[in-house]
Amino acid sequence: MDGLSTDSTIEILEDFKRQLPSLKIKQEKDKGIYDAMNKGLDCAQGEYLYFIGSDDTLYDKDVLGNIFKLLSPSQPKILYGNVRMQGSNQWVEDGLIHAGEFDLKRLLSHNISHQAIFYHRSVFDKLGRYNTTYPIFADYDMNLRCFANYSFVYTDTIIANFKVGGASTGLADTAFDKDKLKNIINYFHTQLFSRAFVDCRLFVQRAAFSAGTGISLLTRLYCMLAYAKLKTQALLAWSR
């Protein structure tokens, strides 16, 4: 997907196409990163989908072959690994391997790099496309939706080189930040009373008692009941 770039991108891609005749190149104006990804989704025909930005690269020439071997036996809906940071800023150092395995508590606070994830296409058929309301963190929103519906499979493999300084590095997404807590409750509402949320109960507490979150009164009452149960479960576990 090329958003009408003015450099030599198309010429480079055409050169690759001579080696890979099945390569599809689409060049048109888009409304941002995730609009382009959604257009890519509509064009793609593969069983698994993978997204990588123009300034990122696969870690080495064997990555896709190794991932294929992991996907083939059990065909997980979502498989993810790690990325290697290229460049430094105030948060990361060059060469850092990011970010290991995620559980629910960790994902509620930090995203998995989209360059590290392979999605079965049925995931998007069921859950829909990236929400373009979020210009920077629509992939984070998608991963939260996915985690509420699927089991993620982790492989301790470096998938890609992540170029520090891209659109997602250090920029704010105020629309996502505003909706994040409300979306967490919406996506995981059937699981709020489960043991998986005991260690994540502060998110439920904030939804229940914080004003200005956009959460309806009825949902806040539901969260109050969930928080009371989760707090009780935590106290019982601590007392044993």
**CATH code that applies to domain 44-175:** 3.90.550.10
So what's the pLDDT on residue 224?
96
Instruction: Enumerate the domain spans of the chain.
Output: 44-175, 192-239
So what's the pLDDT on residue 79?
98
Q: Is the pTM of this model over 0.85?
A: yes
Q: pLDDT tens digits for 26-61? A: 889 999 999 999 999 999 989 999 999 888 999 999
The confidence band for 212, taking pLDDT boundaries of 50, 70 and 90, is confident
Residue 168 has pLDDT above 80, yes or no: no
Give mean pLDDT, residues 136-143: 97
- Cβ distance 34 to 139 under 8 Å? yes
Q: Tell which phi-psi region holds residue 128, choosing left (phi > 0), alpha (psi between -120 and 50) or beta.
A: left
Cα separation, 183 vs 178, in Å, equals 10
Q: Is 156 helix (H, G, I), strand (E, B) or coil?
A: strand
Residue 167 has pLDDT above 60, yes or no: no
The confidence band for 170, taking pLDDT boundaries of 50, 70 and 90, is low
So what's the pLDDT on residue 164?
86
Cα separation, 48 vs 50, in Å, equals 7
The encoded tokens of residue 177 equal 């930040």
| Complete DSSP assignment for 1-59 | -B---SSSHHHHHHHHHHH-TT----B---SSHHHHHHHHHHH--SSEE----TT-EES
Task: Indicate the burial class of 46 (C-beta count within 10 angstroms; 0-12, 13-18, 19 or more).
Answer: exposed
Q: pLDDT tens digits for 53-85? A: 888 999 999 999 999 999 988 999 999 999 999
